Structure 1
Amino acid sequence: MAILAVNAGSSSLKFSLHPLQDGGKVQPSVLNGCIEGLEPGGTPQMDWTFAGQRHQETITTPGESSFQRALARLRVLLGELEGAPTIKAVAHRVVHGGQAFKQSVVVAGTVLEQLESLNSMAPLHQPHNLAGIRSFQQAFPNLPQVACFDTAFHTSLPDVASAFALPQSLTEQGVRRYGFHGLSYHYIMDTLLEQSPRATGRVLMAHLGNGASLCAAVAGRSCATTMGFSALDGLMMGTRSGTLDAGVLLYLMEQGWDHDRIQKLLYKQSGLLGVSGISADMRRLRADGSEAAQRAIDQFTYRVVRESGALIASMGGLDVLAFSGGIGEHDAVLRAQVCERLGWLGVEIDAGRNAEATRDAISAIHTSGSSMEVWVIPTDEGRVAAREAATLLHQGDDEPEQAQELALEGIE
């Protein structure tokens, strides 16, 4: 048996297949892939790896939409793979769980409708996550669909860290800091705890990619994070602005900007792309070499260092620093620059280890004389989602008379 973990976006679908051992323990994936070109009118391209072999193809399966064609081909592929385990459930990454969903849930009843009410809080992700669930419900009608939330890891945030300085009436309505990238942070934290006894102390995790955030954790639990009510807050990102003086938005409104124009600016036209005017891709900016590209890189790095200082101060020091995400895992220059600017804390990294850590493996890059450990942890959100689904369904197997109540367990 296995759990199929999926992450549905606006134009792509990432998937991985995780076998289950006896007792529901989730193993590393045996199948990894991504289908791109799922925008309306697009031509889906599927890239997957199974049994050490990589495959690529253009999907020509008939269907009304690109997503439907992709799902039809994926379903056939899963049946064609020799020796692949039988799928027990589908685990979906869902960015926002709001106040109601504190842990993963089986999608049933009014769950989707409740989650749709959060679309405006994560417009780049939430609508596509939920559309993915609906499509999988149709394509795999006999499999449980499990929603796994990026916000769940941050439910341990203390009130002082989660509340904005707004009237209490708004806080009670749910206007508060939620935090995101929780599936990634869950994986990073678990991995660090396996690798180092110091991870039980004060840990700063940096998930740096097209979406970027930091998370401070003490004793393995989130206590502060840079993203807030939405996935806009905190660090500068690929196309998102990160933290912005609210007065800028008031000014733009006075200039006649409406909601949709402001939303497009903040989510799709800012960040690395907006500052550079070239690209949201850090790799392309590194290769460009222009003054505009360097300005965007410098601003991104500065924001990581600045926000790191704030989170380190909130913990009263630091024992472990971990980099992850597409930029965090592969950009050795950025890691070196961030650690150099945090050098006043006593952090030292080994240049050779840092350069070699661009390979996809767990790597310790600190020197023996460093006051803290520094790690590069390739994240695996799919494995965490699969584990969440397996745990939830295993509970139902143990107590069949309560199976129908599983969909409500994570709702408050």
Structure 2
Amino acid sequence: MQLLIDPAPPAIKWGKHSAKSFSSGECLTDADWLAITGGNSDSRQRTASVVYRLRHGGELVRLPAQIVTPKVLEAVGAAVRYLPEYNELTYAALKRMLRIMPKVPHILLCDTAFFMEMPLEASAYALSPLLRARGLKRYGDYGLTHQWAFAEAQKLLGPPVSKVISIHLGDHPNMAAVNNGRPLDTTIGFTPVEGLPSHSGCGDIDVSVVFELQAAGFSLKEINTLLSARSGFRGLTGTACSFMDLMNADTSVKKAMARKILLYDIIRYSGAFSALLGGADAILFITEEPSKCAAFIQGICSGLEFLGLRCRFPISDRAGGTLISEQDSRIKVMVLKGDIWRIMIDNSKNAVQEEII
């Protein structure tokens, strides 16, 4: 059995994976951690490995997948500052599980590590050397998803596919331009607040908005909450709104506006990424429920017809990938059904294989 740990503030989501079954749940950090492992020694003995997702490794965690050692644990602790709300949960889980199950392999997966190879011109902010020396740069996020998607494209579309625009559709929509498996650019910056609007984050804005709000009397803590937890789909609709809520067909004017803004931003970034790649071989859409996103994906493809896209619809929810581009399309378009558990399971194999080698 493989135990998977994914931070989802204020809780931790967990999954149990074996050849014959899968189960999942969540718990708060003050819960009985033994309950996650099954609560008895026999269950813990059946655990072959424990896999953790670290959302932001900064400059300290530079490998997408690796076996946890004391040095790696120390790096995770130091990386908490980059995204405290999420990283603190991963760090707490690591320390507890290492005590509970010290003899099994513990594998760390890091979402930002994939983007460590991003070119300087894409990762650097136009800041002074003093600020850049503090590690202020664009780190990206969801690297595990984009790395997984590129590998899936190689298997399903063939090796001629090298220049890819990868689009993750979920509560934190984001994109990456990938060339021969290496990232050229991404929509997410220092944290996931930058980039496309999300279920609660504002996305790209002029930083002067922060000064305007501070001048109006808001504290920095209040501003952080407003931009990262009260904006995005929630801010545009006036209520808590997930990505799938946004995909539901209804007549809400506010939801329609939120969809239109997200659609606009994805098309805008797709054009820019296509230029950076010198033309794309494939566009990949990654989402948990492809059929519910069909109309939205169709809108994106329609907006990119100038690139030579020709697509067919509807989209199924079958496992694996669904090729939706027509034969005469200049760019292959594929929809991948992928959830974080499958992505973690597949990525963890890399760390185990490297350890064996």
**How does the TM-score come out when normalised to structure 2?**
0.89
Give 1:72's aligned amino acid: A
In the other structure, the counterpart of 1:408 is none
1:113: Cα distance to partner?
4.2
Structure 2: tracts of 5 or more residues without a match:
none
TM alignment of 1:122-133, pairs within 5 A: 122-133=83-94
Give 1:152's aligned amino acid: A
The DSSP-based 3-state class of the residue aligned with 2:4 is strand
TM alignment of 1:289-300, pairs within 5 A: 289-300=251-262
Kept in 2, the 8 Å contact 1:153–1:182? The answer is yes
Kept in 2, the 8 Å contact 1:215–1:225? The answer is yes
Question: Structure with the greater relative contact order (CA < 8 A, sep ≥ 6): 1 or 2?
Answer: 1
Kept in 2, the 8 Å contact 1:198–1:319? The answer is no
Name the CA distance, whole Å, in 1 between partners of 2:230 and 2:279. Answer: 35
Give 2:330's aligned amino acid: S
Kept in 2, the 8 Å contact 1:209–1:328? The answer is no
CA distance change for structure 1 residues 73 and 99 in 2, over 3 Å: closer, same or farther? closer
Equivalences, count: 351
Give 1:87's aligned amino acid: T
1:201: Cα distance to partner?
2.4
CA distance change for structure 1 residues 14 and 333 in 2, over 3 Å: closer, same or farther? farther
CA distance change for structure 1 residues 343 and 257 in 2, over 3 Å: closer, same or farther? same
Q: Answer yes or no: is 1:7 the counterpart of 2:20.
A: no
Kept in 2, the 8 Å contact 1:98–1:178? The answer is yes
In the other structure, the counterpart of 2:119 is 158
In the other structure, the counterpart of 2:47 is 87
The DSSP-based 3-state class of the residue aligned with 2:48 is strand
Structure 1: tracts of 5 or more residues without a match:
19-28, 41-64, 396-412
The DSSP-based 3-state class of the residue aligned with 1:377 is strand
Kept in 2, the 8 Å contact 1:312–1:318? The answer is yes
The DSSP-based 3-state class of the residue aligned with 1:217 is strand
Name the CA distance, whole Å, in 2 between partners of 1:123 and 1:310. Answer: 31
In the other structure, the counterpart of 2:143 is 182
Name the CA distance, whole Å, in 2 between partners of 1:277 and 1:299. Answer: 15
TM alignment of 1:56-205, pairs within 5 A: 65-66=30-31, 68=32, 71-76=34-39, 79=42, 86-103=46-63, 104-197=65-158, 200-205=161-166
In the other structure, the counterpart of 2:305 is 343
1:4: Cα distance to partner?
3.1
The DSSP-based 3-state class of the residue aligned with 1:232 is coil
CA distance change for structure 1 residues 366 and 166 in 2, over 3 Å: closer, same or farther? same
Kept in 2, the 8 Å contact 1:208–1:324? The answer is yes
- Quick one: which of 189, 207, 225 aligns to 1:228? 189
1:144: Cα distance to partner?
3.1
**How does the TM-score come out when normalised to structure 1?**
0.78
Name the CA distance, whole Å, in 2 between partners of 1:73 and 1:222. Answer: 35
- Quick one: which of 362, 367, 390 aligns to 2:326? 367
CA RMSD of aligned residues (A): 2.5
In the other structure, the counterpart of 1:59 is none
The DSSP-based 3-state class of the residue aligned with 1:307 is helix
In the other structure, the counterpart of 1:312 is 274
CA distance change for structure 1 residues 98 and 123 in 2, over 3 Å: closer, same or farther? same
Kept in 2, the 8 Å contact 1:15–1:382? The answer is no
Name the CA distance, whole Å, in 2 between partners of 1:3 and 1:358. Answer: 25
- Quick one: which of 303, 310, 335 aligns to 1:376? 335
Q: Answer yes or no: is 1:252 the counterpart of 2:213.
A: yes
TM alignment of 1:46-65, pairs within 5 A: 65=30
Spell out, residue by residue over 1:145-166, the C-alpha distance to the aligned partner (whole angstroms, 9 max, x if none): 2221111211221111111111
Kept in 2, the 8 Å contact 1:16–1:382? The answer is no
Name the CA distance, whole Å, in 2 between partners of 1:290 and 1:252. Answer: 29
1:122: Cα distance to partner?
2.1
In the other structure, the counterpart of 1:333 is 295
1:94: Cα distance to partner?
0.6
- Quick one: which of 2, 23, 34 aligns to 1:33? 23
Name the % identity.
Answer: 24
